[in-house]
Amino acid sequence: MKFGRVVQIRKQFKFEAAHVLPYHQGKCSRLHGHSYRLDVTLEGPLAGDGPAAGMILDFEAVSRIVKNGVIGELDHRSLNEVVPNPTSENVVIWIWRRLAPEFPQLAELVLWETATACAILRRGDVLAQPLDPS
């Protein structure tokens, strides 16, 4: 096995949350909930030695960081308490901004609101850039 090659890993998480879309003209303007699925993709070289040899990052570390930083904040909560206009797009941006400082290898987030509808944010997308502190 050659080390230094770039590989992707992906871990999936689930959470339940409610929201109201305050600017929506249809039924989503009323309180409703979803069973969300979050796919977190990391990309980077494999570690050559140590306890993470052959890995980008241990899946257990990924789980701990995502559960503490995101799932614990959003699960069984009204998303309007966290994101003022909690569309899937705005929620995935919020999640990116929580996880990016913890995962320099963060490559992509996919937030599934339903089984057939998702929002995607990738490294390099304008909205995935750090906020301007000024």
Residue 134 lies in a domain: no
Band of the pLDDT at 4, cuts 50, 70, 90?
A: very low
Span 6-29, pLDDT tens digits = 899 999 999 999 999 999 999 999
Residue 133 lies in a domain: no
Catalytic: which of 28, 34, 43, 102?
A: 28
Residue 45 lies in a domain: yes
Residue 59 lies in a domain: yes
- Reply yes or no on whether 108 is catalytic: no
What is the mean predicted confidence (pLDDT) over 121-133? Answer: 80
- Reply yes or no on whether 76 is catalytic: yes
Q: Can you give the CATH number for the domain in which 94 is found?
A: 3.30.479.10
Tokens of 109: 């987030």
pTM of the predicted structure, to 2 decimals:
0.91
Residue 1 lies in a domain: no
What is the mean predicted confidence (pLDDT) over 30-58? Answer: 93
Residue 38 lies in a domain: yes
Show the domain range for 66.
Answer: 6-128
DSSP secondary structure of 27-91: GGGS-EEEEEEEEEEEEEEPB-SSTTBT-SS-HHHHHHHHIIIIIHHHTTEEGGGTSSS--HHHH
Catalytic: which of 16, 76, 81, 102?
A: 76
- Reply yes or no on whether 113 is catalytic: yes
Residue 15 lies in a domain: yes
Number of domains in the chain: 1
